[in-house]
Structure 1
Amino acid sequence: MDTVVLPYPKVMLFDWHGTLVDTHGAMYAAIEEMLAQLDELDLTQHILPEESATTEDDEKLIRYIRIYRHLHPRVLAEQRISRTDVFEVLFGDNDVANAIAHKAYNDCYRNHYGCVKPFQEGMFEYLSYLKQLGIKIGVVTNRSREFLDPELEAVEDGRWLDLFDITLCGDEMIRYKPAPDSMPQAAEPLNENADKHLWYVGDSVTDMMTATRAGVTRIFYNGALWTPNWFEQVFAESAHHQYDPDIIVDDFDELLDLVMQSRSETIDTDLADQRPPRLPPRELNPPREEPDWHPAVVNLTYPRVVLFDWHATLVDTLDAMYHAVDDMLKDLKEMGLLEQLVDSATCKSPDDQRLVDYVRDNLSLHPKIKMDRKISRTDIFEILFADNEVAKKLAHKGFTDHYRKYFGTALPFEARVKDMLEGLRKLGLVVGVITNRDREFFIYELNTVDRGWAHLFDTEICGDDTVQRKPHTDQILKAAENLRTELGMDIWYVGDSTTDVIAAKSAGITSVFFNGAQWDQPWLNKIFPGTERYPYKPDVVVNDFSEFWALILSCRKNSMQK
């Protein structure tokens, strides 16, 4: 830490969460619950336009929440920004919107709060020593009194209760932080002024804005251990530069050093000896090790073209599909396909073996498969008939004949799929669909789902548009031909089946496996073993379209930095 001499503090006020204590789990759960209510709270209209964002990360956060109504997975994983900072990015200086957001957050927080612990080791001893130095200490937090008091009672079994000379909560402030009112409001009962002899210690941009506007000394507690580059981006290179902290401390040993440096008279020897012993420097937790296809670790080419599977990726037509597959399986003997079933001993996995044996014995799908609704009809036919193209063609035709009895209802697979598709187009990407569904069904579903999506796609290739369906590459080649583009890794194909992965990898484009069925990691390893016989593995696995959107934005950012 650089040697900086500040005015000696008569009062030291602290933010609560992320500075003195850790309540991350409850806080992020409550933010997520609150963001899901943006529409009913009528707050969507108050979200700032993306172009008003002061940093690239803020722009990403606004765009992400506008589409998905929850936090970016990386924000949730890192847990390094406060809810007040989130609201500041979303609503800026809109006091009305911020008040509604904070109230809604408090309502949600009631469902989650209770788990609280000191943010770093030795916190009680550090705070006690500040009081021994004659400094008045307090808490100024946007947290409501309803939550702060129980948390004060809970942290370290209540031994913090008598530490503070003042506590001021968000529901007692004239206005929530980053408005400056809280600083003089907290100083007045202590008979002190809100000037440079009042230090405000907080972990967020919002805290620095509050301190700057109030004219007090601003100390950034780097609880998240942000790098110098982060501070450069957030303060020096952005519209926040006027809110630069006076100094940044990584731990409370550095904070005590600052206090000692600012003290004009020599400290009493006995008091100096009572200073808490120095602790080892804080360190970030080691990063989680993810599989090489996890969105956090993959290095993908930013796409020019994004192609999607239809059923179980963009839309849900599962009921009709499973009814039609089951009806078709009852006809296996009449269609001459029963004897075409593969020898189960040649199957990729024991689960595939059980599927083949069950169909051979019962001419239907196992009830568990229909209950789980996790496997596509194309994958079912691939398991049953393997490389027998004639048998698979007959099976698809039989499915189509039965599907006419059931089709008609197609629902978005997730609530905001349409917003995601529109977002891709706003980024200037070409968007298309490749589906094994026959055109007579696809066109009807395309024009009826969510009031019609036909305007969202630049090309649509159906199962009966080419000689061979997925997992062959014919449909991908046809899409590239329609779009007059060359195949390459800047074309992404997003689909929910092993068939989609095989088609994409065989065509030499990027395979994005959409894990809408929420398969766990052992199962993913089982269906994508990467063996000589079954070599095809996706380039990345996303569990929902919020992860997919995060991946798109991350790849876009990386491409712009090259």
Structure 2
Amino acid sequence: MALSTAGATPPFPTVILFDWHGTLVDTHDAMYQAIEEMLAQLDELDLMRHILPEGQAKTEEDEKLIRYIRIFRHLHPKVLAEQRISRTDIFDVLFGDNDLANAIAHRAYDRCYHNHYGSVAPFQDGMHDYLCYLKKLGIKIGVVTNRSGEFLAPELAKVDNGRWQNLFDFTLGGDEAPRYKPAPHGLLHAIERLGETADTRVWYVGDSLTDMITASKANITSVFYNGALWDDNWFEYVFSAADHADHSPTAIANSFDQLIDLVETAGSACSEQPIATNLLNQRPARLPPLTPPPPREEPDWHPAVANLTYPRIVLFDWHATLVDTLDAMYHAVDDMLKDLREMGLLDHLVPSASCKSPDDSRLVEYVRENLSLHPKIKLDRKISRTDIFEILFADNQEAKQIAHQGFNRHYRNYYGTALPFEPKVKQVLQGLRQLGLTVGVITNRDREFFSHELATIEGTGWNELFDTEICGDDTERRKPHADQIYKAADNLGSGIGRDIWYVGDSTTDVIAAKSAGITSVFFNGALWDQPWLNTIFPGSERYPHKPDVVVNDFSEFWALVLACRNIQRK
């Protein structure tokens, strides 16, 4: 990657100000743990109403981040796996220019960070020597960060065995500035305190889009420290967005060696006071280049395309596939579990040894001991009500029926709001019908709830989009039994075959489809990675059912339908 995105060398710096986390030091684990804890509090902080509509997202990736946090109240698994995006960038995506929401979010994050901070290390080897070399070149150095001063001071005292404490001419924490980045106030304050003028001879080195916007607003030189090793396509994609185009970095450095190269190049171009040869000879030895983080292992659905039969009929699950009703669902499940003893179900929980996986075993034991879901399950919001009941009661049909009835009693206290799981779900359903396909819904939701949600979603409802709707109380047995699929086919006057697809987000949906002999499309809206999918779909003798294909969102699903259509035509 080129060092300078503009093609011109910036002026030799009188001051270099640095971001802290992700630039000078690595505190990723603590930072991401604190963000996850803070996002779980969005409702009680009254921040959900301040999250930007997905239509106002600046990029497609921002749109996905907003949607995932809105639905699941925690970070997209890809963000967690890569650990490349800063806390400030996340808040900027969620709340934009809303200073009040950003301030509440940062304060809540600081409270959560109390529970996790302490581990801090130089972001790369040789950092102390690099900083000392900059000082020898006569450059003032400082830190301007959104990290609270109460954390910055102890981290500065601890990092590299305390060797950094006297290196910096000025440090400023986020709570010590009038406004958090991307507002330029912190940078301008630091420059004033250092007795300098805010111009291109002041450099700000940071690892995030927010840092570049902050430097641009302060009218100083912005240097993107690319410790995460984003590729050229990423920079082109991010800084081509309308609101980002004016904030492209002046230069990009993939390591501190490249940053020093940039400083020395600027010095050699400075005719007034070039860097003395004896100082250049004191440059720290070059170190091996950084290596990128391991990629997240994404589910691979493409090889299955050629093996799928183009559908005549597409049936969908409702909750967590077409619509989001997670808040109401988890409230009702947790209330129902408190009644397990009164409903006579406590003694019907399966033995832990009979569970499919250690995670299932832990779920059962936690419910047995606490009569509630484990907090992590409620935080993750990734497992369906029906899958929970399958784990708790296995093949005990009578116990599951009682559990569903108990759930319905409590769901009446919460249901009413159903949102499209993705913004373009309705257009996909309309598109399927325009292709001449028959479309239906199969849900374990009882009809009294489903009918209301179907009639009220997006204000006008989706009644005209489906040729058949089968609810949990329409058949004697619910999913994972195939009864509802058979009833849907009967309603449509269709035989059973691979040209019927069932699209659902749970293991229960997959078992029902495979048991009926139709095509199973697993909708991975929760974005499980491949190792996790291998765990929940082991393909063993005891648990043989695996989906025919996995899609992560409706754009992938639509592409899958069209690919199968093209194969059929050929």
Under TM normalisation by the shorter chain, which class is it? 0.7 to 0.9
> Which residue does the alignment assign to 2:96?
92
> Which residue does the alignment assign to 2:521?
510
d(CA) in 2 for partners of 1:381, 1:184: 62
> Which residue does the alignment assign to 1:71?
75
> Which residue does the alignment assign to 2:421?
423
> Which residue does the alignment assign to 1:273?
281
Equivalent residues in 2 for 1:356-367 (5 A)?
none
> Which residue does the alignment assign to 1:112?
116
Equivalent residues in 2 for 1:273-292 (5 A)?
273-287=281-295
Unaligned segments of structure 2, at least 5 residues: 321-325, 357-363, 374-385, 430-439, 564-570
Distance change (3 Å), C-alpha of 1:482 and 1:423: farther
* Aligned with residue 307 of structure 1, among 317, 327, 346: 317
d(CA) in 2 for partners of 1:64, 1:114: 29
Contact map agreement 1:489 1:510 (CA 8 A) in 2: no
Distance change (3 Å), C-alpha of 1:2 and 1:43: closer
Contact map agreement 2:135 2:141 (CA 8 A) in 1: yes
Per the alignment, in what secondary structure is the counterpart of residue 85 of structure 2? coil
Per the alignment, in what secondary structure is the counterpart of residue 503 of structure 2? strand
Tell which structure's C-alpha radius of gyration is larger.
Answer: 1
d(CA) in 2 for partners of 1:164, 1:412: 60
Distance change (3 Å), C-alpha of 1:109 and 1:418: farther
Which shifted more, 186-195 or 418-427?
Answer: 418-427
Between Structure 1 and Structure 2, how many residues are aligned? 492
2:29 maps to 1:25: yes
Identical-pair percentage: 48
Per the alignment, in what secondary structure is the counterpart of residue 511 of structure 2? helix
Equivalent residues in 2 for 1:465-504 (5 A)?
465=474, 473-479=482-488, 491-497=502-508, 500=511, 503=514
2:254 maps to 1:250: yes
> Which residue does the alignment assign to 1:59?
63
Distance change (3 Å), C-alpha of 1:306 and 1:320: farther
Unaligned segments of structure 1, at least 5 residues: 330-348, 354-366, 385-394, 542-547
1:273 Cα offset (Å): 2.2
Per the alignment, in what secondary structure is the counterpart of residue 236 of structure 1? coil
1:109 Cα offset (Å): 1.6
Q: Deviations over 1:488-524 (max 9, x none)?
A: 5864133344983564672113145999xx9x98997
Equivalent AA in structure 1 for residue 126 of structure 2: G
Distance change (3 Å), C-alpha of 1:123 and 1:420: farther
Contact map agreement 2:208 2:224 (CA 8 A) in 1: yes
Distance change (3 Å), C-alpha of 1:242 and 1:433: same
* Aligned with residue 470 of structure 2, among 455, 458, 461: 461
2:230 maps to 1:226: yes
Distance change (3 Å), C-alpha of 1:57 and 1:275: same
TM-score by length of 1: 0.72
Equivalent AA in structure 1 for residue 92 of structure 2: E
d(CA) in 2 for partners of 1:109, 1:380: 35
Distance change (3 Å), C-alpha of 1:188 and 1:533: closer
d(CA) in 1 for partners of 2:196, 2:211: 20
TM-score by length of 2: 0.71
* Aligned with residue 263 of structure 2, among 253, 259, 266: 259
Distance change (3 Å), C-alpha of 1:468 and 1:88: closer
d(CA) in 1 for partners of 2:510, 2:76: 29
2:546 maps to 1:537: yes
d(CA) in 2 for partners of 1:323, 1:306: 34
2:241 maps to 1:240: no
Q: Deviations over 1:373-404 (max 9, x none)?
A: 998887999869xxxxxxxxxx76x986x789
Q: Cα RMSD (Å) of the superposition? A: 4.8
Distance change (3 Å), C-alpha of 1:468 and 1:96: closer
> Which residue does the alignment assign to 2:368?
371
Equivalent AA in structure 2 for residue 269 of structure 1: T
Contact map agreement 1:126 1:252 (CA 8 A) in 2: yes
Contact map agreement 1:11 1:137 (CA 8 A) in 2: yes
d(CA) in 2 for partners of 1:37, 1:369: 22
Contact map agreement 1:323 1:406 (CA 8 A) in 2: no
d(CA) in 2 for partners of 1:268, 1:509: 70
> Which residue does the alignment assign to 1:357?
none
Contact map agreement 2:346 2:368 (CA 8 A) in 1: no
d(CA) in 2 for partners of 1:327, 1:456: 39
